[in-house]
Each structure stands twice: as C-alpha cells, then as structure tokens.
C-alpha cells in the first residue's frame, strides 16, 4: 500500500492507495452509505479532459454518484486515466453520521502502471 503522490504529474508505476471520498452529503448521496459494505466495488469516472482542473468522481456500479476524490489526487489521476491506465476501486470502511462527512467513506484505489 503506498501513499498517493501529491504532485500534478501522474506517476508511471502501479499504485495502490487509500483515500477518502468527498461530497457524500450533497443531494442525499449519503443514503447510499447505509447499504455499502467493505469490498463493494466502485467506479472512478474523470471529468472530460477539456476541464481545466478535472475531478474524478466515485460512483456505485449502478451509476449512482457518491462523491469525488480529493482535488490533489484528481490532479494526477484524471490525466493518468486519460492516458489509458485502468483503475479499480473498492470500499474499505464506511463510518456513520458521527464522523465528519469528508471522512465517512474510505476507499482503496488500484491503478495500473502506464506503459
């Protein structure tokens, strides 16, 4: 398990890291947290590449939006996805309403090496 890089340059090696999901309270997205369990798969979808600062959005396999990755991760992960790196994400831990919203959902992301 490695710590995600904090630079805007996407690293070339394979990565596996943990991160929180932000924005889970907007538009009732938190309703999905009550049904989620460890190891549930998630989808990571970047904004279109024309965005000046593209985000990476976290979705359930059904397409429902949960939130987004922190901007410092999206800054290098979105370009890496555009360049063809495959990513996988899964739920590690879900906390309840006693936890600040930006810390409620912890996920693990695995991103293939770029060739």
Average pLDDT, 10 consecutive residues per value, the chain (115 residues)? 51 83 85 90 92 92 94 93 93 86 89 79
pLDDT at 34: 87
Closest to 78 (Cα-Cα) out of 115, 105, 50? 50
Q: Cβ contacts of residue 79 below 8 Å, gap of 6+?
A: 10, 49, 54
DSSP conformation letters of 20-43: E-B-TTGGGGGGGGGG--TT-EEE
- Alpha carbon distance 56, 79 (integer Å): 10
Domain layout of the chain by residue ranges? 29-93+105-111
pLDDT of residue 28: 81
| pLDDT at res. 51 | 82
């Amino acid at each position: 398990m490695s710590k995600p890089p904090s630079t805007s340059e996407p690293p070339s090696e394979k990565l596996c890291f943990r991160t929180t999901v932000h924005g889970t309270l907007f538009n009732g997205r938190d309703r999905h947290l009550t049904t989620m369990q460890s190891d549930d798969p998630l989808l990571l979808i970047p904004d279109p590449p024309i965005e000046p600062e593209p985000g990476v959005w976290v979705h359930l396999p059904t397409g429902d939006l949960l939130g987004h990755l922190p901007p410092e991760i999206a800054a290098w992960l979105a370009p890496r996805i555009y360049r063809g790196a495959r990513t996988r994400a899964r739920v590690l831990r879900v906390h309840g309403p006693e936890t600040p919203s930006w810390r409620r959902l912890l996920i693990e992301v695995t991103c293939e090496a770029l060739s």
